[in-house]
Every structure is written in structure tokens, then in C-alpha cells.
Structure 1
Amino acid sequence: MTVRRLIPALAVTALGALALSGCVAKSDAAATDALTVSSTASACDVSGDAATSGTLTFDVSNDGDDVTEFYLLAEDGLRIVGEVENIAPGTSRTLTLVAQPGDYFTVCKPGMTGDGVGRAAFTVSGDAVALTGEDAEQKQQAVDLYAAFVKDQVGQLVPAVSDFVAAYESGDDEAARTQFPQVRAYYERIEPVAEALGDLDPRIDYREVDAVAEGLDWTGFHRIEKDLWVPAEGALNADGETPAWQDWAPSTTEERAAYGDQLIADVQELYDYVHGEDFSAVLADQGIGGISNGAIALLDEVATGKIQGEEDWWSHTDLSDFAANVEGSKMAFSLVRDFAEAQGDDGAALADEIDGGYADLEAALAQYGSLDAGFVAYTELTDEDKRALTDLINALAEPLAQLTNTVLA
């Protein structure tokens, strides 16, 4: 979250790991019998764990009691390369796509929330498949894949917030402190979506200094954060001037319940939005022009907040937010990378430069931990460490700023 609220159009892009469905000549696609998938409350049984590159079909049956989804994920387990959603109990849907050689994961998501069940490795072997489809079709597939990514992240955010709030409201602060950076990662990867919805992001993610400056009630993650990491005597707020205890006291049990319930309601509102027609319409209107702007917006989140250590002022978990913003930005770029490369040698060189920038930034972050294992407190970084990270952000931001004009050329 940054004080600046003028957010560019969202990013939507196309995975290099998977050719977009419908964009390959029939002669180039390997003939493969459909794989069957049985989704239940606790399992995602796929009839095979390997296939040959080319057109690939999954016939997904919902044999459980809740509406479900089926995903094919890239090797990093984060990027979605194909999905079908809203499969009602007792019904079936088909996912057809063109798979490139590589390592993937299959997973089902009963209830359309959480991180899914039955995640299993899936391998595609054979030769690479050339794209031959219409540009407009490929762009629409990119939009659809980005929409699926956002829905997946918000779908995981909902139960994670519920568990986090339960710990907070019950007074289990140790558990809540452990969950805090992990829960926020889902939000930080897709933060511009909420920032485009008026006062929803302020309710979920405003810092105290921002809420006070705009005369808003201070709620959300950072209000809860201040309860979980009680300010030390003499500590200042993020504005560097106001005493942390001025006009503030730890929340009562009743106040904790109110703040927790409000956060759950706000996250549910975000979930309802991204699963509704308005979100689909926004992405359709933005099209390819909004793709790289979303990647830039997330990197800006790092440059204007996280790198200053001002985001998570009390917990000092800024590096987790930093890493999640970078993941979301890279995800958006990965989906438009092919469109940049299609603009000739200059576009290909730009894409390679951006690839290198992300790789360098990720390698630097890895020195301090990971989202899974946790990062060191931001206060442990030296000024030299912060300058090095800032230099890497700036080095990536420069070519990334050229991406929109390139993909629109």
C-alpha cells in the first residue's frame, strides 16, 4: 500500500510455459486422449501424470458436494496456465489447452477458496509447439489467465484471513503474528485490484498515518498489526513525529472482534467483486494496454513503500510484502512477455533485460529469506543493504517502464 492512490490499469499477460489455447495449428498438436479428473472434498484424482506436448484435454467431474475448480499450474506453483471454474456438484466441464514441454502441477479447489486439494506433479514431454493463432485471441487468453490468477489469490486470501482473525480475536497473538506476513502475501500479489475499488483498499490496508491524513477510520491489517506488535515506549508513528501511544490504546476484546470482523467482510467484498461481471468487464476494457501497467504498479509499491520500511511499521515484515509485490509484478510481465518479443529484436532485447532484472532482484531478496520460510526483520538490513535493493529496483523499473509502449506498438 502506498499513499499514492492513482493506480494504472491492471496487468494481464501470457505465460511462456504454455501456449494459449486455440492458438496452434492442428498439425502441430499431438493427438492425446482426454485425461479424466475426479474432484471431491479431499482429492483431485487425475487419470495420468504425463502427456505429450500439443493439444491437451482434461474432462473434470465434480464428485463432491461443493462447487469446485480445476487448475493446471506452472512449475512455480503460482502461475495458472489453464483452469475451469464453477463446476457444480454432479456436473462436468472440460479444459482444453495447448501444452508446451515442462513441469506442471494439477490441483482442485472445492468450495473455490483455499489453496486446493490433491496437488500433484504433471509432466509434458515432446517438442515445443509454435503459436499460429490470431493476435486478438492470444490477448483474450492472456486476460483470462490473469483473471484466473487474481481469483485464485483472493480465493486463498479468504480462508487465510479467517484463520488469522480467529487467532487475533481469541488473543492468540503469537499465532496471529506468525500468520500476518503469510496472509498478506495473497493480497500484495494483486493489490492494484483492490486499490481500484474506491475505499476498499483503505479499509483493508491503510497505514495509520494515511488514515489520519485523510480523516478516515483506521481499520484493516495495519490496525491489527499495531495490536500484535505493541509499540515500545518512546516509539513514533510512521510519520516520524507523532508518539505511537498518542490517542491510542491496545484494543479491547470487543474492539478486536469489530476490527477482525470488518477485515473478513472487506476481504469477502473483494472476493465477490473478482468473481463478478464487473471485474471481467474491467479487464476486457483494459485489454493489452493495461497489461504492463499493472506490473509497473506493483513494482512502484515496492519502490514507494516497502523499500522505505514504512509499510509494516510495527512488525517489520516489509520484506514479505516486498517479495509478494515482486511476484505479482513478475507474474503480470510473464503473461505479456510474448507480445513484447513479437515486436522484433528491440522487443526481444527488452524482454530479456526485464527477465534479468527480476532474476537479480529475486536473488538479492533470497539472501534474507523467503515467503515460505519467512524473512528477517526489515530493521536488520543495513543502509548498504537497502541501497543495494533500491539500485536493483531502479534497474528493473527503467526497462519495465518501456513495456507498455512496446506491447502496444
Structure 2
Amino acid sequence: MPRIPVTRVRLWSAAAVALVIAATAGTLIVASGRGAHSARTSGDGLRHTAVEVSRSHCGRGWTDPAPGTQVFDFHNPTDGAAEVYLEDPETGAVYGEVEGIGPGTTRHLTVRVGKGAYAFKCVPDDADAVTGPTVRVRSGRRGPAAVPVTQHDLIPPSIAYQKWVGSGLGTLAKQTARLRDDIDRGDLGAARADWLTAHLQYERLGAAYDAFGEADAAINGTDAGLAGGVHDKHFTGFHRVEYGLWHGESARDLRAPAAALLTSVTTLRGDWSQTRMDPAQLGLRAHEIVENTIQFELTGRTDYGSGSNLATARANLDGSREVLDRLHPILTTRYPELADLERELDRARSLVGGFRHNGRWTPLDGLSRAQRERTDAVFGDLAERLASVATLCDPRRTA
């Protein structure tokens, strides 16, 4: 699938916040917003507390702690941007966070406060973090919190995933060579079957696309933005071969595109041992894979004749599962909804797998309206849940 250039999903992104809210139903951080907001004129019915975000007076303003869901109005009186966390000063677990509080601006955090100790950590740009005074709430049920993930925490799962990708690229190279050989000998029936096998193998490696760099466009790019469309000389890779196989091109015409695809795959496999994935991106990729599936596969935008978008969607889900399996040790102590997420992922895989009959995949236009609606709903829910994983696995600055 084409890769969406998505930035890290953090709580200061309005879209990400909406996803986290829907996915967790209050599991980690309830909300953050933008703009000035006066406690006296608020119509939300919640208690508002003005809190200063600065190195000299971090957390000043919270002098009358009370339990319950409430809003902290963070004001930054300094001349530089800052972020702020509400955390447990003993464990470092974070109840809520807001980034990008610009000079002279106010932003808000809604969180449930209960019995326990709290402190605000102010993290100015280009300056050391400062922790404000500890505030104790004497009663009530606290909202959930999670200990921040560090870059160090993410290195072992990232290395494990990178090794798995390396093995997958070896398999991909063999499958792509088989596809090239089918075309070279003129067996286009075998080529269609082997094209799907190889393409699905590539799609399962989705969390590594960013590290693949320009090789991804050469291997799995589309004709989007090309002046000549599907006939443009720069249209290459799996989809170029797909177009030819399902639009009546001869084996002779397909030999060069198939050979170029194999060369790109072989080069990527050879270069992979020298490539380093960014550990900080691993949690985001699990979410991004499903987002891309919704945008490209479930809309048919990447169908060049094979009608295999649902097969690709299933392969994408397999790719997300591979990421989650390696992040499991990190998530199991931080994400209470992990078991539910894994069940929903299995549900989605089962649903899509049910569209394969007698070895053939149902094309998108072969689904009934009810099937389409159910598929869209399942993937939408899964994307929302995976947004929480992206948020939890985004390393935070703590010093």
C-alpha cells in the first residue's frame, strides 16, 4: 500500500486525541484542546484550574485539589514553547499531557483525579525539565496512568522486528524471482498466482516501509502523480506488473517490469542489514498500517486489475499483528485494553479471511452493502484502538 506520511500520534494532535478517546473510553488520557478557556464562563460543568507552565513556577495554581473529572487550563507566560505532563511523582506514571503550549497561550487537559499524589512536569523547549510541587488528593478514584516509554525500551522489540523483516525479504526475493521466471517462460496464469503470493508477502512487512525509503516506491508505488498514468515509464513495481497481467499485456511486454521489480527487491534485501529502523516509530506503524488499509485498500485505490484488495487488507492485518507481538512486553503493563485490542485484531482477520472462497478472494465490488459496512466498522474500530498503542509507545522527554 502507499505509505501515508504520518507524524507521530501524540495527544496534542486533535485527530489523535479523538482516536484515543474513542479507543480507550478513558483508558489513559481523556482529552486536550486549544484556545483560551475561562473557568467562570465555561459551560462544560467541570471544575477548571488555571496552572502555570514555566521553569520558575511549574504547576503554580493548583492549590485546592479535589477529586473527580476536571480541566487544567495550562498557561505559558514565557517566551518559548513548552509541554507539560501530569504525573505520579513517585512512579513517573503519566495521567495526561499537552505539548506545543506556545508563548502566552493557554491549552487544556481534562483528566480524572482521585486519591493519590500528583505533580506537573514542565518541559520547555531547549531547557531542562522541571517538576512542580507535589499535590495530594485525599479521596476519589483516579484515572488510569501509564509509565512513559523510553527509547531504550523500544530498542529490543525494534531489533527483533528488523530481524523478522530481513527474513521476510529473503522469502520475498525468492517469490519475486518465481514471478519473473513465470513471465519469462510465458506462463501468465502461473504469474498471476505467484504475483499475489509475492505481493502479499511484501504487504506483511508494512511497519518497515519508512525504513525502505525510495525502494518502497519502486517496489509498491502507484501511478498517482505520474503524467502518463499507468503507461508512464516511471510506473514500476508490483502494481505495474499487476496492471499488465490483468489487462492483456503479453509476456514479452511484462519481462522488463518483472525484471526491474526483482532487481529492486534484491537490492533492498541486500541493503537491509545496513539499515536501522527508528525504534520510536514502531508503535506508530502498527496504527499506520491499518489507517493506510482503510484509505487505500478498502477504497480500491490500489486495485490495478487483480481484485485482491481484501487479500491485501488481510496481509496488512498480519503485519500489524507482527508489530504488536513484539511490543507486547511493553504494552502489557501500560495498556489495560490490550487483550480487547488483540481480540478485535483477530476478529478483523477472521472477517476478511471469510471473503476467500475456494482459493479465490472476493473483489471489493463483490461485497454486499452489509458486508462493506461491517468491514469498514471493524477496521475503523481497530484503527482507533491502535491509536492508543501509537500514543503509549511514543517516547517522551523526561529530563
TM-score after normalising by structure 2: 0.58
Residues 199/221 of structure 1: CA separation in 2 closer, same or farther (3 Å cut): same
The answer for the alignment partner of 2:236 in structure 1 is: 219
The answer for the alignment partner of 1:143 in structure 2 is: 158
Which residue identity does 1:387 align to in structure 2?
A: E
1:275 maps onto 2:273 in alignment: yes
1:396 maps onto 2:394 in alignment: no
**Residues 160-199 of structure 1 mapped to structure 2, 5 A cutoff:** 160-199=175-214
Residues 213/228 of structure 1: CA separation in 2 closer, same or farther (3 Å cut): closer
The answer for the alignment partner of 2:5 in structure 1 is: 6
Which residue identity does 1:404 align to in structure 2?
A: A
Residues 366/256 of structure 1: CA separation in 2 closer, same or farther (3 Å cut): closer
| Post-superposition offset of 1:354 | 1.3
C-alpha contact (below 8 Å) 1:299/1:397 kept by paired residues = yes
Matches of 2:159 and 2:381, distance apart in 1 = 30
Which residue identity does 2:348 align to in structure 1?
A: L
| Post-superposition offset of 1:137 | 7.3
Question: Aligned to 2:349, which of 344, 349, 362?
Answer: 362
Which residue identity does 2:315 align to in structure 1?
A: A
C-alpha contact (below 8 Å) 2:207/2:282 kept by paired residues = no
C-alpha contact (below 8 Å) 1:212/1:218 kept by paired residues = no
Percent sequence identity over aligned pairs: 18
Matches of 1:263 and 1:386, distance apart in 2 = 33
C-alpha contact (below 8 Å) 1:320/1:374 kept by paired residues = no
State the structure with more CA Rg.
2
C-alpha contact (below 8 Å) 1:301/1:325 kept by paired residues = no
Gaps of 5+ in 2: 9-149
C-alpha contact (below 8 Å) 2:209/2:216 kept by paired residues = yes
Which residue identity does 2:309 align to in structure 1?
A: D
Matches of 1:203 and 1:136, distance apart in 2 = 31
Matches of 1:380 and 1:136, distance apart in 2 = 45
C-alpha contact (below 8 Å) 1:7/1:196 kept by paired residues = no
Question: Aligned to 2:260, which of 262, 267, 271?
Answer: 262
Residues 352/320 of structure 1: CA separation in 2 closer, same or farther (3 Å cut): same
Matches of 1:202 and 1:137, distance apart in 2 = 31
- Deviation per residue, 1:314-368 (Å, 9 max, x gap): 010111111111100111012112212222xxx222x123112202211211211
Q: Counterpart of 2:226 in 1: which secondary structure?
A: helix
The answer for the alignment partner of 2:336 in structure 1 is: 348
Matches of 1:169 and 1:211, distance apart in 2 = 27
| Post-superposition offset of 1:196 | 4.2
Which residue identity does 1:301 align to in structure 2?
A: N
Which residue identity does 1:187 align to in structure 2?
A: Y
Matches of 1:309 and 1:194, distance apart in 2 = 20
1:158 maps onto 2:188 in alignment: no
Name the Cα RMSD after superposition. 2.7
The answer for the alignment partner of 2:313 in structure 1 is: 322
Residues 139/209 of structure 1: CA separation in 2 closer, same or farther (3 Å cut): closer
C-alpha contact (below 8 Å) 1:311/1:318 kept by paired residues = yes
Residues 195/165 of structure 1: CA separation in 2 closer, same or farther (3 Å cut): farther
Matches of 2:303 and 2:391, distance apart in 1 = 34
- Deviation per residue, 1:151-186 (Å, 9 max, x gap): 111110001000011112322110011112111111
1:331 maps onto 2:322 in alignment: yes
Residues 221/211 of structure 1: CA separation in 2 closer, same or farther (3 Å cut): farther
**Residues 8-407 of structure 1 mapped to structure 2, 5 A cutoff:** 139-212=154-227, 217-230=234-247, 250=249, 253=252, 255-276=253-274, 279-280=275-276, 283=277, 286-287=278-279, 289-343=280-334, 347-349=335-337, 351-369=338-356, 373-407=359-393
| Post-superposition offset of 1:373 | 4.2
Residues 160/252 of structure 1: CA separation in 2 closer, same or farther (3 Å cut): closer
C-alpha contact (below 8 Å) 1:7/1:195 kept by paired residues = no
Q: Counterpart of 2:315 in 1: which secondary structure?
A: helix
How many residues end up aligned between the 2 structures?
253
Gaps of 5+ in 1: 10-134, 232-249
TM-score after normalising by structure 1: 0.56
Which residue identity does 1:292 align to in structure 2?
A: G
